[in-house]
């Protein structure tokens, strides 16, 4: 059977008299033979510029001209019949992230939660070609109506939506990404200062730990900046006493073993205090082989993160310390390390993907020696005196 011969794209506008007043219509034919008739809006019959939502013959013809141009370019919404629903496209997108983009399990869980909780209920049954920018703007206007959402949460939802639609343009030949023009809300930067432990508080927390292993975990977190999941996944083969470093190769979170958050293996200096604590821990009766975990749970398995968190809270109470988060031990490392090391060194040690993340520690920790450096910058090269003479009340004016 011969394929259908493409027809020329054409159309016209016409006015229909209605009981409530005249209305402009457009009727056009696409190259696959489909004919579309659309009501544009009420006709403007007064003098002067048309009110919003009203059409004259000229503005109706302009609308039709833009529509036919979009049809010829292949970007007219609804022009392509994909036969695919948004739910199908979302499932394809998640599978692509998992098997081709190799996203971490925790990331995929977050994306699936967004798809199920915020996208499928309204958009899931719709055909891809029926999801226009107007449809998405209407959906977006109700986002967070059931329960308040922060701007950061809305941005994540819109990012996933845009990813699904963008992939649909490649896989399902959707002419345009209908989510591309959606404006994301502004995410305000956090301005609150970090809340960290002092060295004395770290040692008080260590002394208040339940046992030697918890003491070593708290100390290692503060002196290396490892994330909790990275501490739980640490094995003896990753600890080099001779080389004085810890190699961070994995993270164990939500019962899933994966790469560190940055996706890269990194090395962190092994301070003498940590070396001593881990050396004592390595003298235990079991679980000291190269492949064994440094911080073990029942039967030598992974530590229960929830149980560790409870013991950490109890240690805080016993030591009489502020109710800081376990993650603040990592921030403690960052704020102390930045006073002695370069920002690039701290970035590498902490596994930050962006140096801007490391900058928060630079702003937090002033360096007293900087005042001397600035004073030196303003010395007179010739005489060694300050460029600006000290101001005195008895000096001539």
- Phi/psi at 252 (5° precision): -120, 105
Residues in the chain: 397
Residue whose structure tokens are 């770290």 = 202
State the number of CA atoms in the 13 A half-sphere of 208 facing the CB. 17
Residue of 63, 9, 4 whose CA lies nearest to 35: 9
User: Which of 9-18, 132-141, 287-296, 345-354 is most confident?
Assistant: 287-296
Q: Say how far apart CA 119 and CA 92 lie, in whole Å.
A: 14
List, for residues 377-394, the tens digit of each pLDDT value: 777 665 555 544 554 545
Q: Is the confidence at residue 190, as pLDDT, over 80? A: no
Check pLDDT > 50 for residue 205.
Answer: yes
* Mean of pLDDT values over 220-249: 96
Task: Provide the 8-state DSSP code for 271.
Answer: -
Residue percentage of the chain with pLDDT more than 70 = 88
| Reported confidence tier of residue 225, pLDDT bands at 50, 70, 90 | very high
Q: What angle do CA 112, 113, 118 make, to 5 degrees?
A: 105
Mean pLDDT computed over 279-298: 95
368-377: pLDDT as tens digits: 676 777 777 7
For residue 342, the SS3 value is coil
Question: 328-337 and 343-350 helices cross at what angle (nearest 10)?
Answer: 150
Q: pLDDT digit string (tens) for 66-122?
A: 988 888 876 676 666 777 899 999 999 999 998 888 787 888 889 999 999 999 999
Between CA 305 and CA 217 the distance in angstroms is 12
CA dihedral 206, 207, 212, 214 (to 10 degrees): -40
Q: Give the residue among 364, 378, 368, 291 at the shortest CA–CA distance from 331.
A: 364
Residue 298 carries which DSSP code? G
- The mean predicted confidence, pLDDT, of the chain is 87
Comparison of pLDDT for 193 and 263, the residue scoring more: 263
CB-based contacts of 181, cutoff 8 Å, min separation 6? 133
6 pLDDT exceeds 80?
no
Q: According to the model, what pLDDT value does residue 368 have?
A: 66
pLDDT recorded at residue 86: 94
Among 3-17, 154-168, 332-346, the range scoring the smallest mean pLDDT is 3-17
- Per-residue pLDDT, averaged over 343-355, amounts to 92
pLDDT-based confidence at residue 189 (cuts at 50, 70, 90): low
For 202-223, the DSSP string reads HHHHHHTSSSHHHHHHHHHHHH
What phi, psi does 204 have (nearest 5°)?
-65, -40
Could you give the CA distance from residue 40 to residue 57 in angstroms, rounded to a whole number?
11
Examine the pLDDT at 192 and tell me if it is beyond 60. Answer: no
pLDDT confidence of 242, banded at 50, 70, 90?
Answer: very high
């Amino acid at each position: 059977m011969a394929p259908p011969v493409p027809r020329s794209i054409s159309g016209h506008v016409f006015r229909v008299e209605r009981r409530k007043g005249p209305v402009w219509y457009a009727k056009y034919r696409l190259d696959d033979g489909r004919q579309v008739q659309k009501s544009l809006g009420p006709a403007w019959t007064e003098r002067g510029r048309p009110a919003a939502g009203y059409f004259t013959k000229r503005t109706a013809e302009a609308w039709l001209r833009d529509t036919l141009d979009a049809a010829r370019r292949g970007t007219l919404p609804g022009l392509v019949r994909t036969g695919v629903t948004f739910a199908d496209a979302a499932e394809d997108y998640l599978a692509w992230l998992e098997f081709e983009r190799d996203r971490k399990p925790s990331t995929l869980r977050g994306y699936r939660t967004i798809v199920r909780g915020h996208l499928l209920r309204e958009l899931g049954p719709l055909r891809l070609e029926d999801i226009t920018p107007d449809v998405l703007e209407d959906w977006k206007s109700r986002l967070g109506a059931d329960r308040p959402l922060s701007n950061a949460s809305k941005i994540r939802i819109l990012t996933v939506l845009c990813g699904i639609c963008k992939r649909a343009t490649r896989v399902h030949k959707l002419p345009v990404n209908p989510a591309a023009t959606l404006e994301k809300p502004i995410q305000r930067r956090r301005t609150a200062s970090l809340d960290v432990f002092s060295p004395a508080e770290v040692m008080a927390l260590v002394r208040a730990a339940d046992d030697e292993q918890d003491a070593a975990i708290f100390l290692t977190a503060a002196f290396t900046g490892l994330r909790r999941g990275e501490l739980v996944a640490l094995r003896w083969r990753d600890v080099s006493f001779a080389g004085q470093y810890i190699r961070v190769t994995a993270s164990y979170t939500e019962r899933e073993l994966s790469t560190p958050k940055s996706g890269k293996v990194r090395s962190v200096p092994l301070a003498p205090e940590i070396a001593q604590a881990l050396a004592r821990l390595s003298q235990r009766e079991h679980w000291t082989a190269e492949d064994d975990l440094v911080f073990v749970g029942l039967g030598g398995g992974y530590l229960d993160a929830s149980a560790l968190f409870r013991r950490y809270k109890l240690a805080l109470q016993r030591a009489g310390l502020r109710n800081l988060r376990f993650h603040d031990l990592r921030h403690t490392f960052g704020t102390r390390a930045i006073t002695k090391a370069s920002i690039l060194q701290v970035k590498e040690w902490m596994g930050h993907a962006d140096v801007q993340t490391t900058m928060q520690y630079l702003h937090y920790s002033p360096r007293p020696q900087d005042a001397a450096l600035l004073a030196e910058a303003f010395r007179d090269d010739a005489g060694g005196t300050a460029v600006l003479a000290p101001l005195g009340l008895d000096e001539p004016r």
